[in-house]
Structure 1
Amino acid sequence: MTRIVFTAMPAAGHVNPSAPLIRELVRRKLSVTCYATEEFRDQLTATGADFRPYPADAITSEDIATATREGSPLRVVARVLTATERLVPFLQQELRRDPADAIAYDSNAVWGRMAATDAGLPTISLMTTMLAGAESMRGMALREWLQFIKLALPDLPGVVGARGRVVKQFGDLFPPSPVFPMRGDLTIFPIPRWLQLPDPRIDDSCHYVGPTFDPAVRTSVADPELAALLAGSEPLIMVSLGTLHAGSDEFFRSCFAALGDLPARVVLSVGRHTDPARLGTPPSNTLVRASVPQFEVLARADLFVTHGGMNSVLEGLRHAVPLVIIPQQFEQLVIGRAVAERGAGVVLRQNLSGRPVPPEALRSAVDQVRSDSAHAAAARTIADGLGQEGGAAAAAELIDRFLAERSASRAG
């Protein structure tokens, strides 16, 4: 039986689109072993794959979230490179004990790529977002560039130091620049092709299969108060800035001010690093939670206020929910602009230049999306087309074909 090892990036936005593909590969009788952190054991074991945990001291989703909250994207890169020092030897030992036929890795899990290079194995990259290059970056305003530089400069020495240590330890196993995100011999994008701007790195090895949602996997709503709110009849607005970014208390209070008097139900998912008690008493139409089963809430929602992460945007569009996108970093601006160009939402860019979103700006954006039926119609059009590229089944077919070609090449 063909055996694939998958090395995950321990973050929900990366594991969620991977799990349906893994489930499909297992259904096709491939042996799949998933390496991730204990946090994702149940989710990955449910696919039918063999789960093996990373060493507990290597990297966690909390490490990534902390780096995201407290620094620039460069700080996340430095944390990933530090984890690589620990995880490459771990995977080398695992592959010597239990050899594989190919390595599939999240496009940011550099340790998987390096272990594959060391073992001489074919590589499959799961690219959970688009490639963002020069064409994408032209959309940034000067004040956004200045804010990015202000945040990134203090993190640059950490990246340089971590990269130097990895290169010194592993030499030629380290991928050539640009390292992040990493392509493979086969690169699969579980996103719609229309989200990708032109990029010279896209070649015949790159394939866009659309979202890999698994309709058979549903999350129940165990919270009685949330379940009661979802059963209501007024329009439902969900607000969330994702699992990695931390919305400020000021932002969530702005949501109270902007949305509290609407004839609507509001679900405010504030993340585990925000104490709801600090926000004060929410309006009577607003329910505040650290987290909610997002897919289930969006299935009932009429509008989604989101940071614009790929996973969240696709989940919203899957349910034909128009969006108000408040990017926290450049990649999310690119995603937001693509959605807005298709008419399915609007973008508020203040956070990218270090400014808060005023309550009146948020209210205006919400009113605009709610009052103009063209936004909902555009979201419905996108939703109707999201499955056309094949999703997890198409991705698994590409992997099957890729492995068969590699096997035939070796035999010849």
Structure 2
Amino acid sequence: MALLTIPATGHVNPTLDLAAELVRRGHQVTYVVPEPYGWAARLTGAGHVAYDSTLVPAPAETPPGPEFAAWLPFVLLEETKHVLPQLVPLMTSLPPDVLVFDRTTYVTARALVDIVGCQSVELFPSFAYNEHFDIAGDLERATILNPGHDAYRQLSDGYAGLAKEWGTTAVTVEEFAVGRADRAVVAIPREFQPAGGTFPASYVFAGPALRTRHAPKPSAQRRGVYAALGTSFTQRADTFRAIARAIETTGRPGLLAVGDLAPDQVPPSTEAVRVVREADQLAELASAEVFVTHAGMGSVQEALALGVPMVCLPQTTEQHAVAARVAELGLGVALGDAPSPAEVGAAIDQVSGDEQVRARVDEWAWLLESLDAGALGADAVQDALAASVAD
């Protein structure tokens, strides 16, 4: 079995329990991911084949709003053009029975499945999509999903040219936007998925992968604020400064992880707020009272698993959708992507003091503890393997 994903923490972490469980069941699993993430193979006992990626290093800045919806598909198309010449010889010389692929590698995976003739399982690290739910909504319909838009025509032509070059069936813009698949594993519980009841049983909502990473038990004594804004698109100096000032105004201790923020933009540590480059997020969440987050799906699911209410400061289209879902379910507050210190401080106080939010977060922690992402995902992959054997 081959497991294809991109070099991004939020896309590698959801694969860990699945890979470890497949290895435990005796399957030969090979991660296909760039070298910076070879640790995933070592952690799970899988093999590893590295490929060169246009996505390393990860983008530090992102276009705003509608530009992002049109920009990302072209970035991923260029990645497909770059990686197919590397992966086709690999897959044809040692064809997998099943290709498990991250949603962002959809175009690459569709071509590989056509060429190799194997079964496939799509992995959604965030929301799954169908005709009842589209995270981009009107935003994308104004760009790539509008056949009259230049971006639509350019992307469609790009997919057609790729298919002609490799002798495969062309992916349509609509197929890419939805990530249409016969079998899928989704790294969230069905209850968190908007329109969750409209997805078929072949879409397995397995929940987040936390067992292989040995997530700690939540602390009975919670204190302070943990803040982090993910590992991509992190050049948000004004937002980091606003968070630091906000934590100070609440009178709570805080830990602020700024990632690869430019050195001259890193806010200084103070008596109240310690500023670091990186932190053990699961360990910090286990004892945090409030989590200030960019609302990446992985971070949100980790917070829920460890019972931490959230203040969401989303930036990308998907993060805004995740933040809106957090607020809709009463698990935290969603702010804009450039809030003032006063707004962040008020939101921290609000979610910290709301007993109903705390009770709902505790319910979600129980729900996520009941899910075994590795076993559920491995069952889905084995179903695909059985279909391969039958063929």
Same fold (TM over 0.5): yes
Give the 3-state SS of the residue equivalent to 2:287 in structure 1: coil
Asked if 1:36 corresponds to 2:33, the answer is yes
Give the 3-state SS of the residue equivalent to 1:100 in structure 2: coil
Asked if 1:341 corresponds to 2:328, the answer is yes
Q: How far off its partner does 1:23 sit?
A: 0.7
Give the distance between the partners of 2:94 and 2:136, measured in 1 at CA. 47
Q: How far off its partner does 1:159 sit?
A: 4.5
Give the distance between the partners of 1:235 and 1:200, measured in 2 at CA. 37
Instruction: Specify the alignment match of 2:103 in structure 1.
Output: 107
Letter in 1 for 2:96: A
Instruction: Specify the alignment match of 2:74 in structure 1.
Output: 78
Worse overlay, 334-343 or 299-308: 334-343
Instruction: Specify the alignment match of 1:402 in structure 2.
Output: 384
Worse overlay, 362-371 or 22-31: 362-371
Give the distance between the partners of 1:271 and 1:62, measured in 2 at CA. 13
Asked if 1:264 corresponds to 2:252, the answer is yes
Give the 3-state SS of the residue equivalent to 1:299 in structure 2: helix
Structure 1 residues 75 and 201: alpha-carbon distance in aligned structure 2, compared to 1, 3 A threshold = farther
Q: How far off its partner does 1:331 sit?
A: 2.0
Worse overlay, 244-253 or 77-86: 244-253
Q: Is the 8 A contact 2:98 2:381 kept in 1?
A: no
Give the distance between the partners of 1:96 and 1:154, measured in 2 at CA. 36
Q: How far off its partner does 1:201 sit?
A: 7.8
Structure 1: state its 5+ residue gaps: 220-230
Give the distance between the partners of 2:196 and 2:368, measured in 1 at CA. 22
Q: Is the 8 A contact 1:189 1:207 kept in 2?
A: yes
Identity %: 25
Q: How far off its partner does 1:193 sit?
A: 0.3
Instruction: Specify the alignment match of 1:90 in structure 2.
Output: 86
Give the 3-state SS of the residue equivalent to 2:383 in structure 1: helix
Q: How far off its partner does 1:361 sit?
A: 1.1
Q: Is the 8 A contact 2:257 2:275 kept in 1?
A: yes
Superposition RMSD in Å:
3.1
Deviating beyond 4 angstroms after TM superposition, the runs of 4 or more aligned structure 1 residues are: 63-71, 132-140, 152-162
Asked if 1:23 corresponds to 2:20, the answer is yes
CA deviations 1:308-337 (Å, max 9, x no partner) are: 111000011111000011221232222222
Q: How far off its partner does 1:7 sit?
A: 0.9
CA deviations 1:129-155 (Å, max 9, x no partner) are: 113567556998x9xx59x97xx9997
Letter in 2 for 1:122: Q
Give the 3-state SS of the residue equivalent to 2:211 in structure 1: coil
* Matching of residues 220-235 of structure 1 within 5 Å: 235=223
> Taking structure 2 as the reference length, what is the TM-score of the superposition?
0.87
Structure 1 residues 64 and 162: alpha-carbon distance in aligned structure 2, compared to 1, 3 A threshold = farther
Give the distance between the partners of 2:77 and 2:363, measured in 1 at CA. 41
Worse overlay, 186-195 or 261-270: 261-270
* Matching of residues 54-73 of structure 1 within 5 Å: 54=51, 56=52, 58-65=53-60, 72-73=68-69
Instruction: Specify the alignment match of 1:313 in structure 2.
Output: 300
Q: Is the 8 A contact 2:249 2:345 kept in 1?
A: no
Give the distance between the partners of 1:69 and 1:39, measured in 2 at CA. 27
Structure 2: state its 5+ residue gaps: none
* Matching of residues 105-184 of structure 1 within 5 Å: 105-109=101-105, 110-132=107-129, 159=155, 162-163=158-159, 165-176=161-172, 177-180=174-177, 182-184=179-181
Give the distance between the partners of 2:25 and 2:243, measured in 1 at CA. 46
CA deviations 1:191-223 (Å, max 9, x no partner) are: 11012222898334212112222255469xxxx
Worse overlay, 154-163 or 23-32: 154-163
Give the 3-state SS of the residue equivalent to 2:249 in structure 1: coil
Give the distance between the partners of 1:46 and 1:190, measured in 2 at CA. 19
Relative contact order, higher structure (CA 8 A, sep 6+): 2
Letter in 1 for 2:303: G
Q: How far off its partner does 1:359 sit?
A: 1.4
Letter in 1 for 2:365: A
Give the 3-state SS of the residue equivalent to 1:179 in structure 2: helix
Instruction: Specify the alignment match of 1:240 in structure 2.
Output: 228
Structure 1 residues 25 and 160: alpha-carbon distance in aligned structure 2, compared to 1, 3 A threshold = same
How many corresponding residue pairs? 380
Asked if 1:304 corresponds to 2:282, the answer is no
